[in-house]
Structure 1
Amino acid sequence: MSASTFLLRRLPLCPQSRSMTRANYLALSNFRQYQPRTHIGAPYSTLATGPDQSSDKPYYITTPIFYVNAVPHIGHLHSAVLADTFKRFQELKGRKAILSTGTDEHGLKIQQAAFQEGMKEIELCDKVSQRFKELFDAANVSYTTYIRTTEPRHAVAVKELWDQLWARGYIYKGQHEGWYSVSDEAYYPSSHVEEKINEKTGDKYHIAIETGKLVEWTTEENYKFRLSAFADKLKEWLDQNPDAIVPKSRHQEVQAWLMDGLSDLSISRPKSRLNWGIPIPGDDSHVMYVWMDALTNYLTITGYPWKDISEQQKAICGWPADAQVVGKDILRFHAIYWPAFLLAAELDLPKKIVAHAHWTQGKMKMSKSIGNVVDPFTAIKEFGVDTIRFYLMNDGGLADDADYSSELVAERYRKLLAGQLGNLLSRSMSAALNPSSLVPAQPSVNNIHPDDKTLHEKMQALPILVDEAMSNYRTTNATHAIFDVLAEANAHFSQNMPWKLVKDPACKDRLDAVLWHSIESVRLAALMLQPIMPTKASEILDQLGIREHERSWEFAQIGQGWKQDTESRKVLAGDPLFPSLKPRK
């Protein structure tokens, strides 16, 4: 058995398995003779875009891995909560789910940032990566794997993918020149570069049109990936899968990029210019270019290269990803480079790429130099975890940028969370209206009172609307549908005046019908808000006496709550779940 085979056989097959030892990692990093291995995967033309509910494959969703040259901001939290919400929704529907997140820790920006901080690169990575992890823990992001690209298991996966591409002739060494952005870690064709003039000095400079980042003309020898060979295949993939990228505008944007043609992609940097990276197999004079390195993390957490395991075992580890959540600024890398790498290696493509828009403040792009970057830790401390999660999912843009405002967060809290959800909860549990605290009996569905009809019909339609919204990765549509029902339920409560009905014993049935619709509206809302506001939704369901096994999607229909022991089920009034906010400083 060769040394490389021995080391590879010690790799974990799934993310939960233990990692390689540091000694083995170093031995493998220095090993020169790599042999191509048998691939596992299917041609892109056979792929479906929807989850395979019939298999044991868990739903696998990813966040982008976040670059550690700076501390996290509200946009990073948006990506993580978005992916977490979709993962929790799949679990609500009874499917096992995997969520991966983590940090991207190689590249020139890390090397430069560490130098400026006067510390080693790995020390900077440890410090900032821990900060991201602390944020996601504070935000109740239920990730199953937190990956760092400096981990030994990741180096193995990246080198294996390189081997596959090299063996198939998709990597070659050549001269490369072009417009390079250090900030984006990317080369741009001349058609994507714009000349600017400094108004103060008159000096000319160039920027990347897509990101606005500074670019410089660079010439160097490096390894290149034959990206140009995949333009037609990527077009065909998008044509055959019109929902592969959401929203639709992003799908069309990528198609437009492909119409311009593709240039071969630089995937290494000379070690003389960049030493903080994974060495190229067989050539220590070059290190892996950051996107080739970073994108492979989505395979790493599944245990790639899946050596000596069955297809069934591989499926349990999750690949292909059911959805990959990214910001619109890194769409090109995920919708062109990444699928091209996978096609070259004959691996399955992700079923969906969800590219969300950005957050601005004061209608201006967030920037440290301007001083308008929102600190997510501060936001969570001021408003609470679930309030921030709700705001990001309710107001965050998928197609269009959204403007972050602390005043708007407070308004959403007062008007929606406290004013609609919290208010309806306290009203429907009023001891004055229902001194027994027992859940009223459900009115006959064959004899709905005319005054209940509008609310009843909205409650019936709600699970369909929420399921459609969440299945299409539109959390805003889901929250709007939920709070439309809550608004109708509050109006229904006021219009039917149960405080008058309670005074007349002859109106007992009518009172019960009004209270039941109110309580049932809260139950449906809380059940469907679990993926977005897991803690507050759970507390509401606790107060309503909803048991753990009654909190799945199976019960997300009108009349499906309290199916057992209805006559003895009590609602449990407690402290207000949405108390008044403290005055802002």
Structure 2
Amino acid sequence: MKHSTAFITTPIYYVNAVPHIGHLYSSVIADTLKRYYALKGADAYLCTGTDEHGLKIQQAAAKNNAPPIEFCNQVSKSFKELSDAADISYTSFIRTTEPRHAKAVAALWTELEKKGYIYKGKHEGWYAVSDEAFYASNQVQEAVDEKTGEKIMVSTESGQRVEWTEEENYKFKLSAFEEPLLKWIDDNPTAIVPSNRKNEVTQWIKQGLADLSISRLRSRLDWGIPVPNDPGHTIYVWLDALTNYLTVNGYPWITTENNKGEGTQNSKITNAWPADVHVVGKDIVRFHAIYWPAFLMAAQLPLPKQILAHAHWTMGKQKMSKSRGNVADPFQVMNTYGVDPVRYYLVRDGGFADDGDYSEENIIKRYKDLAGQLGNLLNRCTAPSLNPNATIPATPKNSDARDETLRTKLAELPGIFDESFESREFGKGISAVFDMLAEANKNFQDNKPWDLVKDPSQKERLDQVIYHAIESCRVAGILLQPVLPSKMNTLLTRLGVPSEKRSLLDAYPQQEQSETPLGENREPVLFPRLKK
């Protein structure tokens, strides 16, 4: 397996409100991918963080009677706490209010201006405060405000209210990138995943791209990074926010030996650009799949290899909202069911092409899958009554036809799992693991080791049955590490699997393994009975 670098990102989360289950989903998907690449032997990096500038923040801070930075500090802290609580193994947690980020944004702006892609103009058109986005006339439609009954204009894409604005600002020549963007998408079929999102982006580009306003007058928006050499303007929040992916890589990169650049020296992430995967929600695809690649093309920087856009979580097939009272608190859910089982549920059942429908009943169902299929098999094959010597039997010298189906599934599983994760079909990869575990449990049950243990003449057969059960747990434990990192560490430690023997390559069948001792601690139940 070739040793490489993998750089995965979450979106940076907007701090106008506290974290919800969708934020947790983005982070868990990104963390699962980062751990998956590490499983394959890569130097894997993950960045996450918070987006703290813009009119929405300015307004939210005013509403809370707090200076913007104090408001940002408080809400950013809750996102960091969510990452830590969910065992998100981030390399860098970036805040757009950090000095290193302001330097990176100013450097990118200067580069775009130097290359002739920024000019001063006048914006006349629609602007959505909620989306922090400018919209063309063909991107808005008339609607009726549910609360007041008045006719309003809204974005056709997000449904958020838009207002007509006229102001002087700087513009980016987005219109120059229609053909280059289409060529990039055509040349890189997995650049935007899933395919329905790719098709949306292609349609948007083919409808025509207007030049993009990339600043606001500072008199209207002062909470943001000022335009270099023109402090009367504030840099548009999306140009600011998207640059975070470069900031954490130490941008601007200075190559002379005498001056390596402060950013590069302070970055924990090295030589990782371009991003392997930007994980984003479907509502911010336009910014990541059109604006961001265009900025990078203009600055002559490498483009991300993939933008993975997931769908949203609904509840009762309805969009989650506080007013409906159908919002899931991610902290409370993890506290109730445990961090790893919630991660497992989100990765296995979350939607990419289509929205996933969230329910605690389904979390309980998945928890019972884990306990019944994996936890139970682990307990049975390591129990002192069947395995009094606390060992993993040697690889069987003689094969038995009764184990053939399980052996085949074990041999094929790592490849199926790898292929599924590479194609971002996480549910399919996890299902394959549990298909194997179902066969392992059937094999164990059919061969009745509790009877074999009573007959000394059946020692060889008992060892074969125990071996295959433990091997099934070991392989499942290795493959499920990206999704259930803490629980699978416990499982593999209990089986005595050394930390250096837990890579994807180690999940393939072992050749001529001699008898080895189990780990010392055989007591804890991997998935204890739920209290509720």
TM-score (norm 2): 0.95
Contact 1:398 1:474 in 2 (8 A): no
Q: Percent identity?
A: 56
**Counterpart residue number, 1:520:** 471
For the pair 1:327 / 2:281, whether they are aligned, the reply is: yes
Measured at CA, do residues 240 and 109 of structure 1 come closer, stay the same or move farther in structure 2, by a change above 3 Å? same
**Counterpart residue number, 1:575:** 524
**Counterpart residue number, 1:339:** 293
Alpha-carbon offset, residue 503 of structure 1: 2.4
**Within 2, Cα distance between the matches of 1:274 and 1:289?**
9
Cα deviations by residue, 1:218-249 (Å, 9 ceiling, x for unpaired): 22111110000000000000001111111122
Measured at CA, do residues 569 and 233 of structure 1 come closer, stay the same or move farther in structure 2, by a change above 3 Å? same
SS at match of 2:238: helix
SS at match of 1:179: strand
**Counterpart residue number, 1:195:** 142
Alpha-carbon offset, residue 309 of structure 1: 5.0
For the pair 1:430 / 2:377, whether they are aligned, the reply is: no
> Residues 143-292 of structure 1: matches in 2 within 5 Å?
143-198=90-145, 202-292=149-239
Q: Residue type of the partner of 2:434?
A: F
For the pair 1:455 / 2:411, whether they are aligned, the reply is: no
Contact 2:477 2:492 in 1 (8 A): yes
Contact 1:295 1:338 in 2 (8 A): yes
**Counterpart residue number, 2:39:** 92
**Within 1, Cα distance between the matches of 2:145 and 2:498?**
65
Task: Give the gaps of 5 or more residues in structure 2.
Answer: none
Contact 2:144 2:150 in 1 (8 A): yes
Contact 1:543 1:574 in 2 (8 A): no
Alpha-carbon offset, residue 362 of structure 1: 1.4
**Counterpart residue number, 1:404:** 358
Contact 1:158 1:293 in 2 (8 A): yes
**Counterpart residue number, 1:142:** 89
Q: Using CA pairs below 8 Å that are at least 6 residues apart, which structure has the higher relative contact order?
A: 1
Range that drifts further, 507-516 or 342-351? 507-516
Q: Residue type of the partner of 1:425?
A: L
**Within 2, Cα distance between the matches of 1:431 and 1:200?**
66
Q: Residue type of the partner of 1:432?
A: S
SS at match of 1:214: coil
Contact 2:333 2:342 in 1 (8 A): yes
Alpha-carbon offset, residue 504 of structure 1: 2.3
Query: How many aligned positions are there?
Result: 524
Measured at CA, do residues 309 and 171 of structure 1 come closer, stay the same or move farther in structure 2, by a change above 3 Å? same
Range that drifts further, 151-160 or 469-478? 469-478
Alpha-carbon offset, residue 81 of structure 1: 1.1
**Within 2, Cα distance between the matches of 1:556 and 1:200?**
57
Measured at CA, do residues 506 and 251 of structure 1 come closer, stay the same or move farther in structure 2, by a change above 3 Å? same
Contact 1:439 1:571 in 2 (8 A): no
**Within 1, Cα distance between the matches of 2:278 and 2:252?**
20
Contact 2:314 2:356 in 1 (8 A): yes
Q: Residue type of the partner of 2:515?
A: T
Measured at CA, do residues 547 and 309 of structure 1 come closer, stay the same or move farther in structure 2, by a change above 3 Å? farther
**Within 2, Cα distance between the matches of 1:424 and 1:179?**
60
SS at match of 1:306: coil
Alpha-carbon offset, residue 524 of structure 1: 0.4
Range that drifts further, 297-306 or 544-553? 544-553
Range that drifts further, 74-83 or 212-221? 212-221
**Within 1, Cα distance between the matches of 2:366 and 2:301?**
44
Cα deviations by residue, 1:14-50 (Å, 9 ceiling, x for unpaired): xxxxxxxxxxxxxxxxxxxxxxxxxxxxxxxxxxxxx
**Within 1, Cα distance between the matches of 2:339 and 2:149?**
48
**Within 2, Cα distance between the matches of 1:430 and 1:208?**
61
SS at match of 1:520: helix
Aligned with residue 21 of structure 2, among 58, 66, 74? 74
Contact 2:494 2:518 in 1 (8 A): no
Contact 1:437 1:572 in 2 (8 A): no
Cα deviations by residue, 1:144-186 (Å, 9 ceiling, x for unpaired): 1010000001111101111111111111111111221111001
Alpha-carbon offset, residue 483 of structure 1: 1.0
Give me the CA root mean square deviation: 1.9
Measured at CA, do residues 570 and 107 of structure 1 come closer, stay the same or move farther in structure 2, by a change above 3 Å? closer
Measured at CA, do residues 195 and 449 of structure 1 come closer, stay the same or move farther in structure 2, by a change above 3 Å? same
**Within 2, Cα distance between the matches of 1:144 and 1:200?**
44
**Within 2, Cα distance between the matches of 1:372 and 1:220?**
39
Aligned with residue 318 of structure 2, among 348, 358, 364? 364
Range that drifts further, 375-384 or 469-478? 469-478
**Within 2, Cα distance between the matches of 1:354 and 1:110?**
27
For the pair 1:393 / 2:347, whether they are aligned, the reply is: yes
Task: Give the gaps of 5 or more residues in structure 1.
Answer: 1-51
SS at match of 1:109: helix
SS at match of 2:376: helix
**Counterpart residue number, 2:272:** 318
Range that drifts further, 284-293 or 546-555? 546-555
Range that drifts further, 394-403 or 289-298? 394-403
Cα deviations by residue, 1:385-430 (Å, 9 ceiling, x for unpaired): 111111111111121111111121111111x111111011011112
**Within 1, Cα distance between the matches of 2:127 and 2:438?**
52
**Counterpart residue number, 1:501:** 452
**Within 2, Cα distance between the matches of 1:490 and 1:227?**
57
Contact 2:280 2:308 in 1 (8 A): yes
